[in-house]
Amino acid sequence: MIIVLLGPPGAGKGTQAKKIEGEFGLTHVATGDLLREAVRRETSLGKQAQDFMLRGRLVPDRIILDLIKNKIRGGASGFLLDGFPRNIIQAEELDELLEAENKKLDLVINLEVNHNEVIDRLNGRVICPECGKTYNVDHFVDEPLVCKDCGSRLSQRSDDNPDAIEERLKVYLRHTLPLIDYYKEKGILLSVSGERSPQEVFHRIVDLLQRVEDVH
């Protein structure tokens, strides 16, 4: 089974992707994580991507596609794509790549979160630099900002500053939102409210995926 997870920045895609990965045994392909790792390792692709990421702009398709191709061609049978595709051109490239590998996209899950909620979430988001787990500062009233899993000190992502947040939302509306119609026309789009608790959202997604598995 191959799934794409869509939604605006701060919709909870990363949180849900990890839950889905554990429940269904899919290989989680997160372009954001791939890019940040490439930047951290100072690879050629990472250096090219860094400037775009810091300004909240989309990384060029050629960089994203190089990273994605390596993952998809790794041999796993099931994938969960998180953060890709982000525009129609990437969606078409993904269709071509899957067809060349005798695979197909089974389902696109769109997490719906309103604009103000997204801004509130991103302004308060902190991340563990070691294990990648995300939190909101509201969860740490009178507590130190340390990861509850590994104990590392939490910090804000460099692209979660106010200017970059606004730019990322503009980019999402301009480039990524049209994907909803693209996949709706293909008959594989299902939308889920991302404004409920993470566990409630996950239960809804599990219900949808089990129905897809039953069909297959």
Do residue 209 and residue 139 come from a single domain?
no
In a domain, 167, yes or no: yes
The pLDDT score that the predictor gives to residue 108 is: 96
Of the residues 13, 18, 19, 121, which is catalytic? Answer: 13
The pLDDT score that the predictor gives to residue 105 is: 94
Q: What is the pLDDT of residues 104-152, one digit of tens each?
A: 999 999 999 998 898 889 888 999 988 888 888 887 867 789 998 999 9
Instruction: Answer for the pair 151, 144: CB distance below 8 angstroms, yes or no.
Output: no
What is the extent of the structural domain holding 148? 125-159
**36 carries an active-site annotation:** no
The tally of CA atoms less than 13 A away on the side-chain side of residue 117 is 14
Residues of the chain falling short of pLDDT 70:
75, 141, 215-216
pTM: 0.78
Of the residues 19, 36, 86, 121, which is catalytic? Answer: 86
Query: CA-CA distance, 60 to 5, in Å (whole number)?
Result: 20
**125 carries an active-site annotation:** yes
Do residue 50 and residue 131 come from a single domain?
no
**168 carries an active-site annotation:** yes
Do residue 39 and residue 61 come from a single domain?
yes
In a domain, 168, yes or no: yes
**196 carries an active-site annotation:** no
Query: CA-CA distance, 113 to 194, in Å (whole number)?
Result: 5
**86 carries an active-site annotation:** yes
In a domain, 120, yes or no: no
Do residue 169 and residue 134 come from a single domain?
no
Do residue 107 and residue 202 come from a single domain?
yes
Structural domain count of the chain: 2
